[in-house]
Structure 1
């Protein structure tokens, strides 16, 4: 994970043909992240995992629903939505999951993500009741909270379908020390992929896979070529 530069995020609740999935998995991306804000179930998650496992690409689960926790992933990413107004998304769901599965978990496979949701119109913001009306100092404070206080391995700036403020992303990257900065949102082709890769440690491409596969695939090389 420490070396990942490019990640494709696939939603179990969205259709993706076998040929398209094969191209994504063989694209040279560093990993496939499986997750979504709604409609994620055990059945559609295990189905997508089985299809991805035909290939050698690392595959991780971003856990949003306790019922959709499927064994067999390389890592399990646990989001802590720092700017959520619903505390269930900060400690509530995590507590319930640990109450049921804590004694069985392999903690070497568990990674905490300090999430900052920055698109107030997104499904993720609505579900978590995230306050996305943040100024730069707010975002910087949340990044420090995740990096310095909570010591999350990942700080995730999530613009969820919209292209974010790259200067702010760059500022957050300069702040985090031990955390790896993931950026997601609006990366729909190689140009934006290059811009995002110049600011964040890791670029996550999701919606573009379903909207324009060719441009989505072109983001892999664009990110890899960006220093």
Structure 2
């Protein structure tokens, strides 16, 4: 059975602790051409905020997944497609490797395991909230990124490796290192995608790009540009092929 994300080029990540651009709606976000919505954020997450966004987005014909940062922000609603659960491989605090996950399993008797998918995160922007929150070791090179990705796929059976630069445009070499290290696992990339060119550039190195702050800061027209950019990147022939 193929993964739900196997054909996705683009994801919009919506932070329930932030607002959309004035005058824009979740229907507008879903109409950008994105392949899926991921609902989650690092700080300020509550069940009430999460439920509001989930209920608003599941009304449209775009897959909706929660990315929970804590058990208190998890909701179960009809129309929700599932859960993407971060496992931060380079976290300094092991709570973000297994601890938070253990607490979710302990406290939530309604988990749909068939719709729950772990994401093997590599957090690489030391100035980001998520790096601070997880005490991530961001001082790693491309060889180490490749090794982490290989461990994720080969040892832990992870089907997603998520290279996260959160708030800044990352190093394509690092993303490519992760892509080259895996065979069947998909590589997601998030961080600093803000226009056609940035989406096109990183779309040549990752299987799927994730756009987050852009939808809150610039709005749906800017998001639509990134959809076009990554689609064009994925339709181009691979160099050397």
Q: Do the structures match in fold with TM over 0.5? A: yes
Counterparts of 1:154-193 in structure 2 under 5 Å?
154-193=160-199
Q: Give CA deviations for 1:150-192 in whole Å, capped at 9, x if unaligned.
A: 1111100000011011122112111112211000000000101
CA distance in structure 2 between the aligned counterparts of 1:217 and 1:111, rounded to whole angstroms: 27
| Long gaps (5+) in structure 2 | 235-241
Aligned to 1:47: 52
Q: Residue in 2 aligned with 1:121?
A: 127
Among candidates 69, 87, 91, match of residue 94 of structure 2: 87
Alpha-carbon separation, structure 1, partners of 2:181 and 2:95: 27
Measured in 1, the distance between the counterparts of 2:13 and 2:110 equals 26
Superposed, which structure 2 residues align to 1:13-28 within 5 Å? 13-16=17-20, 17=22, 19-28=24-33
Match of 1:207 among 213, 223, 235: 213
| Contact 1:114/1:146 (<8 A) preserved | yes
Q: Deviations over 1:99-132 (max 9, x none)?
A: 222x532221010100000001100001111111
Distance 1:104 1:44 in 2: 19
Residue 54 of structure 1 and its aligned partner are, at CA, apart by 2.3
What does the per-residue CA deviation read over 1:34-61, in whole Å, with 9 as the maximum and x for residues that have no partner?
0101001100000011111221111000
Taking the aligned partners of 2:110 and 2:60, their CA distance within structure 1 comes to 27
What residue number does 1:222 align with? 229
Structure 1 residue matching 2:158: 3-state secondary structure: coil
Secondary structure of the corresponding residue to residue 104 of structure 1: coil
RMSD, matched Cα: 1.2
Instruction: Return the offset for 1:18.
Output: 6.2
Which stretch shifts more, 157-166 or 19-28? 19-28
CA contact (8 A) 1:189 1:215 kept: yes
Q: What TM-score comes out, normalization by structure 2 length? A: 0.90
Alignment partner of 1:77 is 2:84:
yes
